Amino acid sequence: MIRVDGVLVSKGQGGVYGEKMMKGFRVWDPYRSKFAALAMIRSDKPETELTEDLKVLYLGAANGTTVSHFADYTECIYAVEFAPRPMQDLIEVSRRRKNIIPIMADAGNPVEYAPFVESVDMIYQDVAQPNQAEIAVKNLPFLKSNGIVILMLKTRSVDVTTDPKNVFLDTLKELEESGLSVLDACWLEPYHHDHACIICRKIM
């Protein structure tokens, strides 16, 4: 991935969400994108690298800001979003980038979009639901063997009354018990408070 003077950028056309431009590249702000935060914190991890042959299932695409940066680097993104208002923005983003396939569906019910999604190399999940680990596991049939799962864990969405560290540990356990191999886990401070990232490999 591209960095200019230590700043993470992508090479696509700007003006998607008012992002800054730097030497002809789009600035990928780690305070606005949890994946950009991960890429800054774990810059040495190959699992955080996006490549042009990568096919991604993106769960919780929202308005398409991070999705648009993914599209600058990867072959194809299946972008799943449930809420109607963000979906309107996501569709507009997809008009400008032909490798984004917007899908309006519930990420917790993958049977809804199974006919439209081929096997992918990565599942990236950023869903603010209490059952975030369960949602990731339900979508594993789309992931190729040795594929990567990147789960952005919003601990306060899981249980606002529980210590975020305990939510983090419980989620790690649930993912491991599903058969995933946890490769790395970290907090996204100072960019995102009470947010963590868990990176897994599908070994089945």
127 labeled binding residue: yes
Structure token digits, residue 50 = 């996006």
Only one residue has tokens 């935060």, namely 37
Q: Any binding-site annotation on 129?
A: yes
CA separation, residue 190 to residues 23, 88, 112, 195, 196 (Å): 26, 31, 36, 10, 11
Classified as helix, coil or strand, 25 is strand
Whether residue 5 is annotated as binding a ligand: the answer is no
| 128 annotated as belonging to a binding site for a ligand | yes
Partner residues linked to 180 by β-bridges: 202
Q: List residues bridging with 196 in a β-sheet.
A: 153, 187
Q: Which residue has the tokens 């993470």?
A: 8
122 CB neighbour count, 10 Å cutoff: 21
83 is in an annotated binding site: no
Q: Letter for the amino acid at 61? A: A
* 66 annotated among ligand-binding-site residues: yes
106 annotated as a binding-site residue: yes
In the annotated binding site, the residues are: 65-66, 81-82, 106-107, 126-129
In the annotated binding site for S-adenosyl-L-methionine, the residues are: 65-66, 81-82, 106-107, 126-129
